Amino acid sequence: MKPYLLSAKQLIDKVKKSELSSVDVANSFIERIEEFEKDVYAWAFFDKTSFLEKAKEADDWRLSGKPLGLLHGLPVAIKDIFKTDDMPTGYGTPIKEGQRSRNESEVVRLLKNAGAIIMGKTVTTELAYFDPGKTTNPYDYSRTPGGSSSGSAAAVAAFMAPVAIGSQTNGSVIRPASYCGVIGYKPSYGLISRSGVLRLSFLLDQVGIFGRTIEDMGLISKAIISKDSKDASTRIYPTENMESSVLQDHPFDPKFVFVQTPKWKNLDSDSKKAFDRLRKKLEKNIVDFQDPSSFEKIFEYQQIIMETDMAHNLSYFYETNKNKIGKKLKEAIERGQSYKSKDYAEAVDNIETLYDNMSELFHHFHAIITPATTGEAPKGLAYTGSPEFCT
């Protein structure tokens, strides 16, 4: 089997056992990228010479007999809003194209410390909002891959990377993962540091992971979940058993709750049928829950918080290069400038109340099941799809 078809866990195991070299692995992904990147456009920056040099360094380290990290030799793709000190960070905007940082994000640092090889930077929508980049959906080049973590999802779906890092402020991990047919895992708020990552909203920004197996999600999470003094939202969370626990059988029957959100009417017919089949399959372990009417306003609250924060955090781009940023981004910033402090405070208070109400469900159920998107990936590349099931 070609290395690019293997899971992250399989690649690491084979490299550590010397059944594959890191250079073998790198060459396999380079071959895949050279075949498909011309149609998928997942990469904002990829330098195969640098990739091979890093792979050679990983092999030299292994052959020296030194201790190997959790992710030794694993190629990882990084969304182009995470700072890296050895490659450009462009944020999906011509304003920052080709610019490099002197430091790197905490996530990148943790990945490197665990032995991972940073492959390159994946395409993001402009400043991680809704103005799309050039990436297509690997399963149908005429369709969107979703956003804003477009390139990360597409790179994993096209087997150009085994795993990738993305971010989510409003559906930017869950939506592209769904459209591209891969696993998108966004851990709870505060588990992964956002230090060194483009900030849209302190209250909403979160880091996520793309991969093809649940085991890989546990593996990467174990490496990057960590408290960070540079991100006040982070907290201590035990990760010792994270890799193994994802594969354990349940010691008891799981209890699921199916949430029919206020946007259920927008779900396409095929998706509704699929969820009906799922509910029947899980009928002994699942109950339905109808969102209270108060949840209807959650979308309004989210928009106020996100756009107000964007108006503050992205003010440099708006004030210095207003004519170079996309229409959707410009309009969002201008709406954010128009909200009053009272609007923002009320939105935050209401979101916290709704969060507490939903958290009550976890006292009675082990997982909440709900759609990730309104349906299949939309045709065309101008629209990255609705995030309303991820809000």
pLDDT digits (tens, 9 = 90+) for 181-216: 999 999 999 999 999 999 999 999 999 999 999 999
Look up the CATH superfamily of 3-245.
Amidase signature (AS) domain (3.90.1300.10)
Mean pLDDT over 243-263 rounds to 86
- And the tokens for 350? 């209401």
Strands 256-260 and 286-290: parallel
* Residue ranges covered by each domain of the chain: 3-245, 295-358
363-373 pLDDT per residue, tens: 899 999 999 99
pTM exceeds 0.95 for this model: yes
Given 148, 167, 201, 271, the catalytic residue: 148
361: which DSSP letter?
Answer: G
pLDDT at 362 exceeding the cut of 90: no
User: pLDDT grade, residue 391 (50/70/90)?
Assistant: confident
Q: Please give the C-alpha separations between residue 78 and each of 46, 142, 192, 351, 359, in angstroms, as whole numbers.
A: 11, 24, 15, 30, 31
For the residues 50-76, what does the mean pLDDT come to? 98
172 catalytic residue (yes or no): yes
Is 152 an annotated catalytic residue? no
Confidence of residue 345 (pLDDT cuts 50, 70, 90): very high
Instruction: Provide, rounded to the nearest whole percent, the portion of the chain with pLDDT above 70.
Output: 100
Residues 6+ apart with CB under 8 A from 369: 256, 257, 258, 259, 278, 282, 286
Q: What is the pLDDT of residue 39?
A: 99
Question: Catalytic pick from 172, 178, 193, 201?
Answer: 172
CA dist 232 and 266 (Å) reads 37
Catalytic residue among 9, 21, 54, 79: 79
